[in-house]
C-alpha cells in the first residue's frame, strides 16, 4: 500500500495534465496500430450508456484509451511520468467497467540474460498493475504475463529497436495493440545504445499475425 501512496500525487498531477488537453492520443494521426479493428476486437461492454460515451472509447483514436503501450528505460521497471495519464485513463475505464479484464504483457529488449528478462518483464507488468489498482481497477480484472525478450516488436540490434521492445502492453479481449511511445519520450536515460535514428530495420514491422503497418513507430 505504501507504494500506492507514494505514486498517488503523481497520478493526480498527471490526471491534471491529461485534463489540460493533452493530445497524446492523436499525435501523428494514424500512429495507432489497432488490431482491435479487425472484427471481434470491439466488445460492447463500454457502450452501455456509461458516462455518455459514444461507441466504445477503447476504439476512439482520440482517446487516451487507444494508447496501450508503456515504454521503459533499460533494465528498469519504473514507469516514466509521461505514461501516468495513459495508465490513469485505463484505470478509470476499468473501474467503471468491472466486467472488463485486461492482461498486462511485460516485454524487454534483447540485452541481458533470457531468464532474468522474464523477471524484468514481470516487474514491468507489475508496476503497471499497481498503478491501475491505485486508479480503482480491481485485482481480478488484471493479469500479468511476462514474455521477457521472447517477443520483440522491433527486430534490430540497437537502441532504435530496443526502445520499442522495453514495453508493457495493456491487452483488452486478447487483442494485442502495440502503440508508439508517447512523443515526449525521447528515450532519455537509457544511455546504452548506439544512438537513435539509424535502425529503421524492423521498427515499422509488426511481428504479430494480422499486425498493421505500424507506421508512426519511428521518431
Partner 1 sequence: MKFLVRVLLTCWLALGLLAGPAYAALTIEITQGAQGALPIAIVPFGWQGPAPNPPQDVASIISSDLYRSGRFAPVPAKNMPEQPHDGNQVNFASWRAVGTPNLVVGQIRPTGQGMYVVQFQLFDVYQGTQLTGYSITAPASELRHVAHHISDIIYEKLTGQRGAFNTRIAYVIAKGSRSSKSYQVVVSDWDGYDPQIIVRSKQPLMGPAWSPHGRRLAYVSFELGHAQVYVQTVATGARLRLAQYPEIGGAQVWSPVWSPDGRQLALTISRNGNPDIYIFNLASKTLRRITHSGAIDTEPTWSPDGRTLVFTSDRGGSPQLYKVSVNGGRPQRITFQGNYNARADFSPDGRQIAFVHRVSGKFQIAVLDLDSGQMRVLTDDDLDDSPSFAPNGSMILYASRHGGRGVLAEVSDDGSVHQRLTSQQGSLQEPSWGPYAQR
Q: Residues 14, 79: contact at Cβ < 8 Å?
A: no
Judged by beta carbon, residue 56 or residue 177, the one nearer partner 1 is: 177
Residue numbers of the site for partner 1 (CB under 8 A)?
Answer: 75, 110-116, 118-120, 122-123, 125-127, 129, 144-147, 150-152, 155, 157, 192, 205, 207-209, 211
Minimum distance, C-beta of residue 209 to partner 1, in the bound complex (Å): 5
Minimum distance, C-beta of residue 89 to partner 1, in the bound complex (Å): 21
Judged by beta carbon, residue 7 or residue 64, the one nearer partner 1 is: 7
Judged by beta carbon, residue 59 or residue 206, the one nearer partner 1 is: 206
Minimum distance, C-beta of residue 199 to partner 1, in the bound complex (Å): 13
Minimum distance, C-beta of residue 51 to partner 1, in the bound complex (Å): 30
Residues 6+ apart with CB under 8 A from 209: none
Judged by beta carbon, residue 57 or residue 193, the one nearer partner 1 is: 193
Q: How far apart are CA 212 and CA 85, in angstroms?
A: 25
Judged by beta carbon, residue 158 or residue 185, the one nearer partner 1 is: 158
Q: How far apart are CA 91 and CA 82, in angstroms?
A: 15
User: If DSSP codes are grouped into helix, strand and coil, which group holds residue 140?
Assistant: helix
Give which of 39, 41, 177 is closest to 105, Cα–Cα. 177
Minimum distance, C-beta of residue 28 to partner 1, in the bound complex (Å): 24
Minimum distance, C-beta of residue 77 to partner 1, in the bound complex (Å): 8
Amino acid at each position: 500500500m505504501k507504494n500506492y501512496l507514494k505514486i498517488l500525487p503523481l497520478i493526480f498531477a498527471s490526471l491534471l495534465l491529461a485534463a489540460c488537453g493533452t493530445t497524446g492520443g492523436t499525435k501523428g494521426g494514424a500512429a495507432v496500430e489497432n488490431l482491435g479493428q479487425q472484427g471481434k476486437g470491439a466488445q460492447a461492454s463500454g457502450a452501455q450508456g456509461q458516462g455518455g460515451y459514444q461507441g466504445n472509447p477503447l476504439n476512439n483514436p482520440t482517446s487516451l484509451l487507444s494508447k496501450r503501450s508503456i515504454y521503459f528505460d533499460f533494465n528498469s521497471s519504473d514507469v516514466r511520468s509521461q505514461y501516468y495519464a495513459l495508465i490513469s485513463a485505463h484505470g478509470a475505464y476499468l473501474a467503471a467497467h468491472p466486467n472488463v479484464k485486461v492482461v498486462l504483457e511485460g516485454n524487454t529488449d534483447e540485452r541481458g540474460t533470457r531468464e532474468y528478462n522474464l523477471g524484468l518483464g514481470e516487474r514491468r507488468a507489475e508496476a503497471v498493475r499497481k498503478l491501475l489498482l491505485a486508479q480503482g481497477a480491481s485485482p481480478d480484472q488484471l493479469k500479468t504475463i511476462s514474455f521477457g525478450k521472447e517477443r520483440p516488436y522491433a527486430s534490430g540490434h540497437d537502441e532504435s529497436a530496443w526502445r520499442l521492445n522495453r514495453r508493457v502492453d495493456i491487452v483488452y479481449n486478447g487483442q494485442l495493440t502495440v502503440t508508439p511511445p508517447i512523443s515526449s519520450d525521447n528515450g532519455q536515460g537509457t544511455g546504452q545504445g548506439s544512438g537513435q535514428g539509424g535502425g529503421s530495420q524492423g521498427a515499422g514491422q509488426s511481428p504479430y499475425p494480422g499486425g498493421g503497418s505500424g507506421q508512426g513507430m519511428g521518431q
